Amino acid sequence: MSRPISRRTSLSLAIGGIAALSLAACSDPGEGSGAGQDAPASWPASTDKLDGVELTLWAAQSSAAIPEKVAAAFEEATGATVSIVTIPDPYEQGVQTKVATGDVPDLAMWQPTASQLLALGAKERLQPLDGAPWEKATQDSVLAAGGTLDGTRYAAFISAPSIMGVWYNKQVFATHGASVPTSFEQLLTLARDLKSKGVTPFYEMGGEWWASQWAVQVQLAEAAKDGLWDRVNANEDQFTGKDIQGAIDTYNSMIEEGLFNSDIKTGTFDQQAKAVLSGEAAMAIQVTSLLGNMAAQADTATLDSTIGFFPISASGTLATSIPDQTNAVVAFKSGDAKREEAARQFLTYWLSEGYADFIKDQNTVSIIKDVQTPDTVPAALVESNKALDSSVGSMQSLAIANPDLAKNLGDMIAGTKTAAQVGQETQAQFAQLAKAMGAKGF
C-alpha cells in the first residue's frame, strides 16, 4: 500500500536542487549506451542470465522494503545482484543532491510526476522507457496518471497511484442515515448535519501538515481538467486566483466552522487513522496511504465492514490522482551499457514474472491487466483504484513546480497565516521555482 508522501523540503533547497541539476545536465550530458538516446537499445527477456552484474536501487525509508522480495527473486532467476540503498529523508532532496554531483544509481524509487521528473533532470539523466514490454500490459488509467515528460516515458509504475478522496466510517454513516455525497457542497451539508448530531465530521492531522492540501486539491478537480495547471504554469492564472484561493478559503471556513476535530492543530496521521477506524470521526479527506495505516491496525474483514471510500470534487465526484515515490521506479543512464540493460530487464521481471508474488506480498491492487488483484486486498482500496478511470492529475502531477502549499496551509491551521497569505506566499514560491527552471512567463 502507498505510504505517506514526504513533507516538502524548504524552498531554498528546492531552488538550489533545480539549479544544480540544470547546471550538471548542461555541462555533462552523460556517456554510455543510454545517454542521449530516444529509446532503449533493447528490452532483454526478464530471466536472461546476468551473472556478475551488480545493480543498485535507491529508496526512501518509506519505500526501502517494497522491492526486497522481488529483487531477491530476480537475483535467483538471473544471477544478478541488486543492492537496495536507503537514502535518508528528505529523500527527494538527498537524491537530487547526489545526482547533481554525478553520483547515480541504476534504479530508484521516484515520484513519477512531471515536476519531480523535471527536478531529477529526466531528459539528461534517465533512461527512456518507451516501448517496454510491460507498457501495454499496464492499465491505461495508471499510465495516464504520470511517468512521462514531454511525451517520453521515464518511470515505470509498480503499483496504483494514490487517489485523493474521502475515507469514511460506514457504521457512523449507517447509524445517522448518511448518504454518500456527490459534490463538495453536499459533503459540507452532510458534515454540518453530523456535527449537529454530536459527531465529529472530519479528522485533520494539522500537527503533520503534509496532508493539509488534500481538502484544497479535491476542490480543484474540474478546474484541473479544464486546464487550470496549464494556465498556472504559463503564469496566466495564480494561486491567488478564484479557483485555488477559493478552495483555500473554503477549507479555512470549514476549520472556523468547527467541522474538524478539536485537536486539529496537533492531530497526527496515526490519530487520524484511529479516529476514522473507531468512528471517533466520520470522515477524513486523504490519499490512499490512510488505508494503509488503518490496515496496520485492523484485518481485511474489519476494514471491509467499517471503511468506505468515495471520490469528491467541487461539483461532482471527479477523483484526483497523485502518484508518489512508492508507486514507481526510474532507471538511470549510468554510462555502463550492461548495467543499463540489466536495469531495464529488472523492470520487465518486476512487472511480468515477479508481479503476482509482488502484489500478494504488498497486499495491493494489480495494475497489470492479466494479473488478478489478491482476494485479501481491502474493498475500499479496490474502490479507490476504480476511481482512477475517470481521474485528473493533482498539482504535483500537472504543475511544473511544487511550492509549499501544504506547509503554508499547516501554518494557517496553526494560526500563523491567514487564508489570503497562504495563496500569496504559495504563488510567490511557485514563481521563484518556475523562474529558477527557466519557465516562460516568469
Burial class for 137, CB neighbours closer than 10 Å (0-12, 13-18, 19+): middle
pLDDT digits (tens, 9 = 90+) for 278-327: 999 999 999 999 999 999 999 999 999 999 999 999 999 999 999 999 99
- pLDDT of 14: 55
pLDDT band at 236 (very low <50, low <70, confident <90, very high): very high
Domain shared by 157 and 183, yes or no: no
Same domain, residue pair 76 and 98? yes
In-domain check, residue 409: yes
Distance CA 309, CA 389 (A): 15
Same domain, 286 and 345: no
Domain identity same for 399 and 257:
yes
The answer to the question of residue 20 being in a domain is no
Q: Are residues 103 and 236 in the same domain?
A: no
Q: Give the predicted TM-score (pTM) of the model.
A: 0.89
Based on the fold, state whether residues 271 and 301 are members of the same structural domain.
Answer: yes
Kindly state whether residues 260 and 341 are assigned to the same domain: no
Amino acid letter, 176: H
**CATH (domain of 74):** 3.40.190.10
Residue at 414 is within a domain: yes
- Give the count of beta carbons closer than 10 Å to the beta carbon of residue 31: 12
Beta bridge partners, 346, equal: none
Do 100 and 179 belong to one domain? Answer: no
185: in domain:
yes
189-223 pLDDT tens trace: 999 999 999 999 999 999 999 999 999 999 999 99
Quick one: 342 and 416 in the same domain?
Answer: no
The predicted pLDDT at position 41 comes to 58
**351-400 residue pLDDT tens:** 999 999 999 999 999 999 999 999 999 999 999 999 999 999 999 999 99
Grid cell at residue 55: 545493480
pLDDT surpassing 50 at residue 28 = no
The fraction of the chain above a pLDDT of 90, given in percent, is 89
For residue 310 the three cell numbers come to 468515495
- Based on the domain organization, do 277 and 423 belong to the same domain? yes
Residue 2 resides in a domain: no
Q: Quote the CA–CA distance of 15 and 438 in Å, as a whole number.
A: 11
The domain total for the chain is 2
Name the percent of the chain lying above pLDDT 70: 91
What range does the domain containing 283 cover?
163-321+393-437
Q: What is the pLDDT of residue 37?
A: 46
pLDDT confidence tier of residue 7, bands split at 50, 70 and 90: very low
363 lies in the same domain as 312: no
427 within a domain of the structure (yes/no): yes
pLDDT of residue 204: 98
Domain presence at residue 10: no
pLDDT at 131: 94
In a domain, 249, yes or no: yes
Between CA 231 and CA 143 the distance in angstroms is 23
CA-based max dimension of the chain? 67
Pair (425, 365) in one structural domain: no
Q: Could you check whether the bond before residue 44 is cis, i.e. omega within 30 degrees of 0? A: no
